[in-house]
A and B are shown apart, each in its own frame.
Chain A
Amino acid sequence: MAAAKLLQSSVFRLTWAATVVLGLAAAAAVGLIGWSANSRLTQSTETVVERDAADLRRAFETGGMEALTSAVRVRSRLAGGGLYWLADSNGHPVAGNLDKHPAELGPSRRTGTFTYRITSSQGESARVGAGILVDVEGGGMLVVARDVADQRALLSMMYRDLVLGLGGLAMAGILGGLLLARYILSRIEAMSAASEAIMAGNFSGRIPRRDAGDELDRLADHLNAMLERIERLMAGMREVSDNIAHDLKTPLNRLRNRAEQALGDQRGSAAWREGLERTIEEADALIKTFNGLLLIARLEAGAVEESLAVVDLAEIVRGLVELYEPVAEDAGFQIIAPPAMPAHVRANRQLIGQAVANLIDNAIKYAQRVETDAAEKTVTVDIAVTGDMVLISVGDRGPGIREADRERALQRFVRLDPSRTTSGTGLGLSLVAAVVQMHRGSMRVEDNAPGLRVVLVLPLAKPHALPESGADRERVVGDRKVEA
């Protein structure tokens, strides 16, 4: 990872900015404390010195120069006490522990700090004192001061520590920022690399996660869920196009062969007519298949969501039973109709109708394949409400579907009979599955012992969404057309 990239990363910049702000705040705080400590110390030194000077003045007032000299001498000898320097009117030092008059104090500057030297067993050293210069009546001069070298040392140590601390903070900020930036960058880079690989065509690739449970992992999870769905859709599409190519080839070939046969038929126009009629039939079947595919694609894209209205499922199912009854009777079957009890769902009447029609149609078709007693020649259509779900089931006494094949039966174009001689597009159940999915329901294929039972489970409409008159706009349009 290039250093420039690290320095440019937003994480590094943010960390660095935070460090600078923090450092400034810390410097301000310490500066304030230092300033206030310094001023307080100076103030207390001033008070002490002034009181001392006042004592000495009182000594001078009561005992004159002599008393002052002796007081200064006494005080000068006390360890840790003040600093004194007393001179007579001629400027000769008479008492005090300062070796000379501090040059910094004079008539122009009577209060302030000065340097002085002391000689001890460790040798000579320079110190700092702070004090005042007082004129003695009769021409003498007195300096009263205190040693402030220790105070000064304390403050300067504090300032030095402050600078060191700030430096450390800055270093930690830069280092932390770099580490943090490197960590985040490495994760983002890994994510980018994975996305690039996916863009390059590796659709099964996934964004890496570090199991830290943090927001980057959550982002990766969301992206992965998205990729998962895209991949599934793509796989579905690929499968569809493969199946279309494969399954449309057969009828197209048949179409072509029939036309060719008719053309070559010696009987002439009668044969041509027949051939053309059969060609149209084949073409119609092909169109039907295409329409079915298109509808499934649209349903899976959720394109018809807005056409949903609250409808009575029981009424739709009864209507379909009535539609298919004559066909079933002609085939020697009886359709057992569901009980008359309303079951309202939010649905598209046409799509649900198509789905249930497919189930009834399949049931009649497949039930004819096995020899059964007259009593067994039934197709049972049932509706039941459990909790907030409606169950519609269509059961037959036909050959059923082996358990292993049931999942497959819901896929497009799968006709479990490998000879594919049965009429139909092979889209029946997959269309039903798509319709049910679009209505947020589910579908299962069960053993009817014997035979097959397909159960659709759809969510009941919420009670407040029950239809008012004219809520079903499909019906309104339909009625208008009938009455006009």
Chain B
Amino acid sequence: MRVLVIEDDPEIAHFVQRGLKEIGHGAEIAGDGVTGLDAARDGGFDVLVVDRMLPGRDGLSVIQALRAEGNRTPVLILSALGEVDDRVKGLKAGGDDYLTKPFALSELLARIEALARRVSPEETATRYAVGDLILDRLTHKVTRGGEGIILQPREFRLLEYLMRNAGQVVTRTMLLEHVWDYHFDPQTNVIDVHISRLRSKIDKGFDKPLLHTVRGAGYMIRHGSG
């Protein structure tokens, strides 16, 4: 995966670049909005990471320009600006995800990977499978090893999101945003408790656990130990 990081703070840009390289992705850096827009137009990137405040041309206008030209590359907006309205404005301008600085690297990487997988919405499957765990989105049925598992509606959505991002880290914040549509910090780690309930339903009594905790990052559903 190739990622373009449009960010004027060299420290943050290199920090992100190193992080992406460590997990095996290529990353290039553009230090201002104009260079960034040109590089993004050249194409070949799977995800763009765009800082909101840039010299030359601000981040939102870069995204708007790309979207106006029909460029659909997923964009993650990075911003030092705070809450609520800023996020909504960023997403309205054509961004796909929004992360506030300072951020945890694990959070950023998880979000970049999730974005890269979303390129073609029409490929969204009606049925997800991880090992012997199967989730059918049409009938809302979940089975493991052929045995039916009864899930609450929210548990179903939680599992659905984890399985769509199978093999990848999903952070607690991502779960809160996508499963509950909450863009705030609920103080206590409520997500952990929901995950442990889900885990007891899908992993209990099976030799190989599928739902893993990734320390310091979040959760991952995965078959096998690799």
Contact = CB atoms under 8 A, between A and B. Distances in A.
Interface of A: 277, 280, 284, 287-288, 291, 294-295, 298, 303-304, 306-307, 319, 322-324, 326-327, 330, 348, 350-351, 353-354, 357-358, 361, 364-365, 424, 428, 473-475, 477-478, 481-484
Contact of B193 (A288, A326, A477): A326
B85 A303 contact: yes
Contacts of B104: 280, 284
A83 B82 CA distance: 108
Contact of B187 (A291, A326, A330, A358): A358
A344 to B, nearest CB: 18
Given A280-B216, A481-B96, A361 B83 contact: no
A350 B84 contact: yes
B2 interface: no
Interface in B140-185: 154, 161, 177-178, 180-185
B181 A327 contact: no
Contacts of B183: 350, 474
B184 A357 contact: yes
B186 A304 contact: no
A140 to B, nearest CB: 114
Interface string B198-226: 00000000000000000010000000000
A68 to B, nearest CB: 114
B190 interface: yes
B126 interface: no
Contacts of A365: 188
B91 interface: yes
A298 B85 CA distance: 10
Contacts of A364: 188
B185 A291 contact: yes
A348 B84 contact: yes
Contact of B85 (A288, A306, A475, A482): A306
B84 A304 contact: yes
Nearest to B181: A478
B41 interface: no
B83 A295 contact: yes
Interface string B43-55: 0000000000000
Contact of B197 (A277, A326, A350, A354): A326
Contacts of B197: 326
Nearest to B152: A322
B194 interface: yes
A287 to B, nearest CB: 6
Contacts of A348: 84
Given A298-B84, A357-B184, A361-B187, 10 more contacts: A284-B104, A304-B85, A307-B85, A319-B180, A323-B194, A326-B193, A350-B182, A357-B187, A473-B88, A478-B177
15 contacts: A277-B216, A280-B216, A295-B84, A303-B85, A307-B88, A322-B154, A327-B193, A330-B193, A350-B183, A357-B182, A357-B186, A424-B187, A477-B92, A481-B96, A484-B121
B82 A298 contact: yes
Interface in B101-152: 102, 104, 118, 121, 124
B181 A475 contact: yes
A275 B104 CA distance: 17
Nearest to A349: B181
